Structure 1
Amino acid sequence: MSFEKLKVIEPILKALKNEGYTQPTPIQEQSIPVILQRKDLFGCAQTGTGKTAAFAIPVLQLLHEQQQPVKQKPAIKALVLTPTRELAIQIQESFEAYGKFTGLNQVVIFGGVSQVAQVNALRRGVDILVATPGRLLDLINQRIVNLSDIRLLVLDEADRMLDMGFVHDVQKIIARVPKQRQTLFFSATMAPAIRKLADTLLINPVKVEVTPVSTTAETVRQTVCYVEKRNKPSLLLHLLTNKDIHMALVFTRTKHGADKVAKGLNNAGVAAEAIHGNKSQQARQRALNLFRSKQIKVLVATDIAARGIDIDELSHVINYELPNVPETYVHRIGRTGRAGARGIALSFCDSEERVYLRDIQKLITSTIPVDNEHPYQDAIGNNKIGQSFKTPVTPKTSNHFSRGNKPRRRYHKSVQ
């Protein structure tokens, strides 16, 4: 199957060729014809499947075909709602790339930054608006944004929007959108709450499900390391300094934890940055750019902030803390092993996280192999209890884990 056979128009085909796209992914192959037929769609696909292009390409095509010959300031005809700033930026960049030769323009708006530049862009006219719910609702209330001309509504990462508590904002926004519209609903999970929300928005939708949420990419090699909580910093540093890891995305459950891990790694001589919701947009983009350009080795992220991080060359994902929602594990490790490349997912599991590991293995219907070779095994791994403060890894590790003349134990407590 080719994009030509999907009846994608020439201006978009030209842009896709410029981007190096030749063959559609399964989610694109199934979604594009449905959307071009102006049908509502319920798409279920995990991260890394080409979901953005699956809706961006047909949305651009439909709007291009409906363009009026009379030159006038464009009104917003398509709205894409997405939960995070990073994902919003990524989606806007995709629309810009695929729509390069269509004459359509797009604007992205999100919170955490001044609204001035965004408002100025909106006032110049926009065909496609990509937005996070909070900032959009704020600008609607200020009478800066008018959604009365919307023809296409896209909800991307709907499951994450519910998790983040955006459901009420989303409902308020949808109340401002014309009922006569085409709605595209994308989620990585099919939880009851997601189905309920979809039922209120979609009319006779076509369901497209490419890979269930329980499916982890075959290109990702998974390993679990049993380790006591207090020894996680030493194990992380051991892996980053003794293994062939060029780039690693490290996940924590909390913003505070992400900051502590990043700070500890930098103190130990490993270049790292943290990215989470409390960081300014400028700081988050700076961290992403440093990571993409390989000026830092490690990006430490929370789950919400990591949505929208798309780095083809990412070789390793490390779950410093296991997620308490098993589906999140699938999303996390999906950040590596993308586009057919090989990836490695390493997960730390302490005694309190055993139940999380059991839930994850139940979801993915497989047992994750255990690394019995690392030097910080705990009793779960049928080995000695890790002694991170007594067992030297390398001279570099031992030297960097302390601060001045302070005992190394103090550093480890601060990273937990």
Structure 2
Amino acid sequence: MSIEPGSTPEPTPAPSAAQTPTPSHESRIHGCLLGGALGDSLGYAVEFEKIDSIRAMFGPAGLRDFADLDGGSHFSDDTQMTLYTVDGLLEALEWANSGVAADTNACLWLAYLRWLGSQGVVLPDSAPFQPPRWIDGHEVLRNRRAPGNACLSGLATGEMGTVYRPVNPDSKGCGTVMRSAPFGLLPYIGADEVYKMSADAAALTHGHPSARQSAGVFSLLVHALANGRSLQDAASAALEQLQEGRLPRGEQPDSDLIDRLATAQRLAAAASGAGQLSAEDLVAELGEGWVAEEALAVAVYAVLATAPATAAAGPGPEEHFRAAIAVAVNHSGDSDSTASIAGNILGTYYGKECLPADWLEALEAPEVIRGMAARLAAVTGV
């Protein structure tokens, strides 16, 4: 997979009547990366806690605000790997802008290897050397924040995994989905290419079809939002593509992924009448989020179930963001990954205007995240 110089932008579809956000693409980039980091940071405080424990610590409504955390919170490997995804794409785009077609997946692999080294893992002799880049100079990214086992072991092989020669062939952990939003932010790449880039990058660490497809579908959802689709339209289009088997390379869609996404959208549609699911029912219906399709489904449910019924009624962008992150955080499962994905989605949809100012003040190292967002905006010319 390569990013070719001189790519042509994909046409932006006309917005639907219910769709009101019209942020700049630069605002969407900042919103996606900062929103994901906010969800990740709030969720990381309770990542390994059961819902009863969360309620015991923070009250019946659970953890809903950074003000509830005495010592604040850190972002996890989810944000670290998302930023390294950005850096891999940046390098490929920099080559393309200089007139050279780059192997995008190789650039991503090298970026992930530098992340692996930042986690205190000795790189194998077979791993190629790459000079450090701007991202590598920030100590906050060297902190070990519960990185996923498959991400570590897949990269530690020193072999560049592919769809056809995967590492960790049975692994479908959510470590693919939580890092894949940046693929959808590329403004001059078609939807099929976005999916293939995301799925190919997932195969660097996880070999199970659900892990690859969940990452690819998440990137497609972000791509649709970045191109002006509504939340419901973007989610429905991603599900339809799976149900109709419209995947690159003729790959058979994963039935578990289809089932989880269909259930998430059905339950979200029912939330306006029947009310939102309890944390217990959320896990019973969609799973805890430790595996790829569950993490994506929980995040999609959280975003859709808390959305205003119409563009003119209901909560505003900031209130919607707070409510969705609360749903994505408060359950017995992988709270940082589910909330990170939800934050990516809403940050892309609304742009950075939906991000609570007081939450941004509590965010760890926002200058690093903004720095990577600004670099992505600059290299894509938006």
Calculate the TM-score normalised by the size of structure 1.
0.28
Whichever structure has more helix as a proportion of its residues is 2
Q: Which protein, 1 or 2, shows the higher relative CO under an 8 Å CA cutoff with sep ≥ 6?
A: 2
Q: TM-score, normalised by structure 2?
A: 0.30
Give 1 or 2: higher strand fraction: 1
Bigger-Rg structure (1/2): 1
